[in-house]
Structure 1
Amino acid sequence: MLLSLLIVALLIFMTAFFVAAEFSIVKVRGARLDQLVLEGNRRASVAKKVIENLDDSLSASQFGITLAALGLGWIGADQIEGMIQPLVDRLNVSSSLATILSFLIAFLLIAFLHVVIGELVPKTLAVHEAERLTLLVARPLYFFTKLLYPFIHVLNGTARLTLRLFGVQTTAQETAHSEEELKIIMTESFRSGEINENELAYVQNIFSFDERIAKDAMVPRMNMVTIDEEDSIETIIATVQEHQYTRYPVTRDGDRDDVLGFINAKQLFTAQLVKSDAPFETFIHQLPLVTEFTPLQEAMVKMQNARTMMCLVIDEYGGTAGLLTIEDILEEIVGEIRDEFDRDEQAEITEVTPGHYRLSGLVLTQEIEERFGIEIEDDVDTIGGFVLSQKANARTGERFVLPGEHELIVREIDNHRVVFVDLILAHKDEIQPELD
């Protein structure tokens, strides 16, 4: 009786082992095993070999499960039935009924132990502790696969041949993830607390970075601060004091379509301090050119090659469309960058109250769609452009309805340029803002 119980227990343990191995090696992350291998974990090295030969490893696990199940059905049921038979005989029932009852009880008991102990428990444990169990089962599973490799090879070959008969072509296992899959992985990692909100935002911005063009990040032509080649040093000093930039485009006769290059204010003022007699033209540096539709990545490489921090953006007619700086490009990834001179600068998107946001007229409609889920179907790039497309002579206080019954209120206009607008999300508990 003791030997029979040991055999049954061994067969159930074998089932549990191979089930745990099957689920854990599928669930475990390959990148995590790579990290453990680099840290010198020997068990991880074996586990890596198991994962690299996943088809053979899964076939070995399934073969082990099948052998254990057959053993339980052949040996376990008979042994358990023999142990139960004397107990059933005490019920004073007919021999035929006693045989049937013994068989049913033995069958149900074996099935219960096989399903719960041999299948469900190891499966649940493998799903939640995939890494730990993979490291634990990898070595014995590796040797079991090697021991029965010829047989497993035949089984795998037969399975592939069967699939081909039904028109199913088997391909190599894919280990790489697509961009969308990586986004989903990062989002799930954020929800589980593995990464924080800033890290998630950085990754999402990097994925969308290659879709951005110079037009999306540039300083528009009308917002450019320039210096004319004929300006006096006093005028230049006053401009620098007012705007606190380091580099300024230099124009001819104040024409922003005729940009000669740019000057570095630090370099110019240093020369003034040492009373240099160098002409103003020597401080003008060449300004790289990109078009409105140049990808940001390409524009950044162009600035790096030219060793400059800015480039001029031109439109399809060859005129100046705006100015693009390295800081503008970095802000597309890490968000708005502020220094000690930006204290009075208002953020492009500011939450006034829950559901009430103040937006700069330069905020991209694409950014509004990504942040608020409001899709603005119009041939414009900015929210200020949307307002003007709806009404060219819009005035402060005018209201416009966005898709989804969201409301847009003009807050400030400067010479036909929309400076700020208010976005009121369509919620029942939303309080309408007071207009000045």
Structure 2
Amino acid sequence: MIAFFAAVLPVTLGASLTTSDVWIIAVIAVLLLLLSFLAMAETALNRISITKAQSLAGEGKRGATVLLELVREPERFLNPVILAVNIAQVVQAVLTGVVANQLFGATGVVIGTILNVGLFFVMTEALPKTWAVLYPERGALLSARPVSWLVRFWPLRILSKMFIGITNWIIPGKGLAQGPFVNEAELLHIVHAAANDEVIEHDERELIESVIEFGDTIVREVMVPRADMVTVDATASVNDALSAVIEEGFSRVPVIGHGIDDIVGLVYLKDLVRAFRRGQTDEAVSRLARRMHFVPETKKVVDMLREMQAGKFHMALAVDEYGGTAGLVTLEDLLEELVGDINDEFDLDDPDVVSLGGGAMRVHGRMSIDELSDVLDTEFPADDWDTVGGLIFNMLGHVPTIGEEADVLGYRFRVDRMQGRRIMRVRIAPAPPEESADDVGSGANVSSVNIGTSGVGSGGERRA
């Protein structure tokens, strides 16, 4: 820019370059290159995460080790780099004004300032930062060593610490937060965006979401409820127990004493077969029972999974706060929370959701509220219940009868099938907008429930 002025305007303005002017122009050019490099370095380094730096270091990339040291403590390089940028900007602007004034006077200073702003924006802001955004890894690896040398320059390091100390004195506080800088909701949004942009597959998105939600799920949400548990009596013979286990298709079942709340152990199919082959068909099952593991129903499933891995067992009994049997949880139940239902060739096809057309569907009463919320894209409440059946029980306030209905958040829930006092099947359809509980005759048996959304549980109950 200054060279352009010196070549074009000296005749008009009667100016000529001196040796000192040439040196000043050279220093300005060097400062512009330095500013361009620092802008690229600052942008590239800030776009590299610790995980990415560790990956680059693991691949043996040149400069990756130094890069990892920098990104682990970003304040070590960020403050000195910002201070170096400020110093270079001020010096470059002053020198530009000085040489422009010497060559062309006041008019040259005005023109030089205008051109300097444009040149500064393009050469030291837009161009290097755009390149760093496009190629963050190359930029970070290229700038890691020079920035590390800059950080070690003790006058710059001392000055940056001094100025930061003055800043902290002016604006007192606890300093920068150490994280986490992304919460769970933001992370899920990032995963959704990545799937929509085809960065990851939708199956991968579902798996990532399952892993994130896995940490918030408790045993009560995935266990087989006590009403669905298959058990054998401790006094039953090996022959009778073997027949029951084969009929149900399980490899292990709990053994009960005086009732469902008196679990005395766990019997394995292989132990029953072994006893049968030895001719011990009339022996009591209690003699073959192994130790049963007991866990609270509020235990986190991630802890439950670790405990099963460490203890090398596949089944545990969930107990409630009173010590009674709440349900049964298996390793398969935990894994299904991550990868979805695991069915073998002998499992009966009994889907939780059956489409009926017209926006209606029939769901299982023990379908989890979390799954229903995902299917209908509506946040249904999950205060003191985990399943669709529990939602209807709490909304109606009594044991329903077949055909009884309740409106919840714009959907009409109708009980289609009962088994004793248990809700087995529920039909869900959009509630007619023109109808309300006051408009419907007594024969319709509709309860209109006005509720707000709340936290939604995750997981579901499955057979052992």
Partner in structure 2 of residue 109 of structure 1: 115
For 1:44, which of 40, 64, 78 is the aligned residue? 64
Partner in structure 2 of residue 432 of structure 1: none
- Given the superposition, is the C-alpha separation of residues 124 and 152 from structure 1 closer, same or farther in structure 2, using an over 3 Å criterion? same
For 1:174, which of 172, 178, 181 is the aligned residue? 178
Judge which range, 374-383 or 19-28, deviates more: 374-383
Letter in structure 1 aligned against 2:265: G
- Given the superposition, is the C-alpha separation of residues 144 and 263 from structure 1 closer, same or farther in structure 2, using an over 3 Å criterion? closer
For 2:404, which of 395, 398, 407 is the aligned residue? 398
SS state of the match for residue 261, structure 2?
strand
CA contact (8 A) 1:288 1:312 kept: yes
Partner in structure 2 of residue 95 of structure 1: none
Partner in structure 2 of residue 127 of structure 1: 133
Could you tell me the TM-score, scaled by structure 1's length? 0.79
SS state of the match for residue 250, structure 1?
strand
Q: Deviations over 1:209-258 (max 9, x none)?
A: 344333222211221122234545564454334321111223347x3333
Partner in structure 2 of residue 374 of structure 1: 379
Matched, 1:325 2:330: yes
Q: CA deviation at 1:70?
A: 3.3
* Cα distance in 2, alignment partners of residues 67 and 167 from structure 1: 25
* Cα distance in 2, alignment partners of residues 233 and 56 from structure 1: 71
* Cα distance in 2, alignment partners of residues 210 and 223 from structure 1: 25
Partner in structure 2 of residue 417 of structure 1: 422
- Given the superposition, is the C-alpha separation of residues 154 and 331 from structure 1 closer, same or farther in structure 2, using an over 3 Å criterion? same
CA contact (8 A) 2:50 2:72 kept: no
Matched, 1:265 2:269: yes
* Cα distance in 2, alignment partners of residues 396 and 363 from structure 1: 18
Partner in structure 1 of residue 362 of structure 2: 358
* Cα distance in 1, alignment partners of residues 139 and 340 from structure 2: 41
Q: Deviations over 1:56-97 (max 9, x none)?
A: 4233333433344334433445656788x6xxxxxxxxxxxx
* Consecutive unaligned residues in structure 2, runs of 5 or more: 8-21, 434-464
Q: CA deviation at 1:157?
A: 1.5
Q: CA deviation at 1:360?
A: 1.6
- Given the superposition, is the C-alpha separation of residues 314 and 377 from structure 1 closer, same or farther in structure 2, using an over 3 Å criterion? closer
For 2:81, which of 45, 58, 61 is the aligned residue? 61
* Cα distance in 2, alignment partners of residues 177 and 243 from structure 1: 50
- Given the superposition, is the C-alpha separation of residues 29 and 317 from structure 1 closer, same or farther in structure 2, using an over 3 Å criterion? closer
* Consecutive unaligned residues in structure 1, runs of 5 or more: 86-98, 429-436
For 1:22, which of 42, 45, 64 is the aligned residue? 42
CA contact (8 A) 1:14 1:64 kept: no
The structure 1 segments of at least 4 consecutive aligned residues displaced by more than 6 Å after TM superposition are 80-83
SS state of the match for residue 411, structure 1?
strand
Letter in structure 2 aligned against 1:334: V
* Cα distance in 2, alignment partners of residues 162 and 295 from structure 1: 44
The residue correspondences of 1:271-286 to structure 2 (distance < 5 A) are 271-275=275-279, 279-280=283-284, 281-286=286-291
Partner in structure 2 of residue 34 of structure 1: 54
CA contact (8 A) 1:213 1:293 kept: yes
Aligned pair count reads 409
SS state of the match for residue 262, structure 2?
strand
Could you tell me the TM-score, scaled by structure 2's length? 0.75
Identity of counterpart residues, as a percentage? 25
- Given the superposition, is the C-alpha separation of residues 356 and 150 from structure 1 closer, same or farther in structure 2, using an over 3 Å criterion? farther
